[in-house]
Amino acid sequence: MGKPVWSRRAVLGLATAATAATFPAPTAAAAQVSTVAVGPGPAAVAVNARTGLAYVACADGALAVVGGRTPALRARVRVGASTSGVAVSELTGRVYVSNSLAGTVTVLDGRTHRTLGVVGAGPGAAALAAEEATGTVYAASRTTGAVAILDGTSGAPSALVVADGGPLGGAALDAERRVGYFTSPGTASVRVLDLREPAFTGTIAVGDAPEGIALHLASRTLYVANSGIHHLSVVDAATRTETSTILLESAASSVAVHQRSRAVYTNGGPNGVVRIDGRGGRITGELDLGINPGALAVDQWRGTVHVADPVHGLVHVITGF
């Protein structure tokens, strides 16, 4: 995922005809929230569902490790001066952290937190996505619009693919169909990358300034957080078209999908997290955290949601929501 957009705009007075949701009352009664201090400016979050550990890239160049039955800070590892993205391979346990100013990706052992190597990924390397079966890592640039493709085992760069339209934001992969999706904030679109070639082969129009992106694999549905407008784009990845939008109370920059339940989570609430039923595109709950949250990620095995608070240097670990 790319660097979160933390500002929020005023609620839009009018919804488009494509909007498929109304605002519910907050449903926080069943949810339990644990708060963990991780350090300044948590910018990206990734979860290893096999271990239950969450990895948080912080603005001071550290990687915070959060986990345990009672969520707590387990480690804090120095990785670089400008950490901006993080990804995890559950198959190997390795953690990948991008450093945008240095243009590198740091590879760590997820169990020992030992640095295994530092790989050149090009200027502005930010959003990361890891492919489980091959261990390949894709690093999207916030400045050049290039995607660096790295061997997840050796760390060696294997290709560099440039998208027309400038900087890229978030990243999502469909490894089975060999397709990658990268948001393009400057062009209000999602760029489609053929992983076999590799080459960009298409563009999908979405909302203003798209940032976060998540893919529900079984239905081939993309959810795109548009940071410049108060709605989430719903995209049919098979036809490469935006099929609907979901009206939010605040512009969103991050989105995640729980694959089994198809619950979609986004930071498009005015003071917290919104839950959406991915089957019907309907908002089913809002959890008030008292802040405009940043990046979020879902533990696919446990269903817990990890939400960054970049203002206070916290991560909220949410169960039952």
Classify 74 in phi/psi space as left (phi over 0), alpha (psi -120 to 50) or beta.
alpha
Are 141 and 122 in contact, with CB atoms under 8 Å apart?
Answer: yes
Are 125 and 103 in contact, with CB atoms under 8 Å apart?
Answer: yes
> What is the overall mean pLDDT for the chain?
89
**pLDDT range class, residue 321, cuts 50, 70, 90:** very high
pLDDT at 270: 86
* Pairing assessment for the beta strands 221-226 and 263-266 based on DSSP bridges: unpaired
pTM above 0.85, yes or no: yes
Q: Please say if the pLDDT value at position 296 is more than 70.
A: yes
**For the segment 230-275, what is each residue's pLDDT rounded down to a tens digit?**
999 999 999 999 999 999 999 999 999 999 999 999 999 889 999 9
Report residue 113: phi and psi, to 5°: 65, 20
Classify 109 in phi/psi space as left (phi over 0), alpha (psi -120 to 50) or beta.
beta
**For the segment 226-239, what is each residue's pLDDT rounded down to a tens digit?**
999 999 999 999 99
**For the segment 117-167, what is each residue's pLDDT rounded down to a tens digit?**
999 999 999 999 999 878 899 999 999 999 999 986 676 778 899 988 899
Q: What number is the average pLDDT over the span 185-211?
A: 97
- Which pair of structure tokens corresponds to residue 227? 């940071």
Where b means 16+ CB within 10 Å and e means fewer, 34-55 reads: eebebbebbbbbbbbbebbbbb
Q: What number is the average pLDDT over the span 108-114?
A: 93
- Contacts for 216 with CB less than 8 Å, ≥ 6 apart: 222, 223, 257, 259, 262, 264, 278
- Which pair of structure tokens corresponds to residue 162? 């440039």
Q: What is the dihedral sign for C-alpha 222, 239, 242, 236?
A: negative
Give the up-direction half-sphere exposure of residue 95: CA atoms within 13 A in the CB hemisphere.
30
Are 172 and 154 in contact, with CB atoms under 8 Å apart?
Answer: no
Sheet holding 115-120, edge to edge: 83-88, 94-99, 104-109, 115-120
Classify 155 in phi/psi space as left (phi over 0), alpha (psi -120 to 50) or beta.
left
In CATH terms, 32-319 corresponds, of 3.40.50.300, 2.130.10.10, 3.10.400.10, 3.60.40.10, to: 2.130.10.10
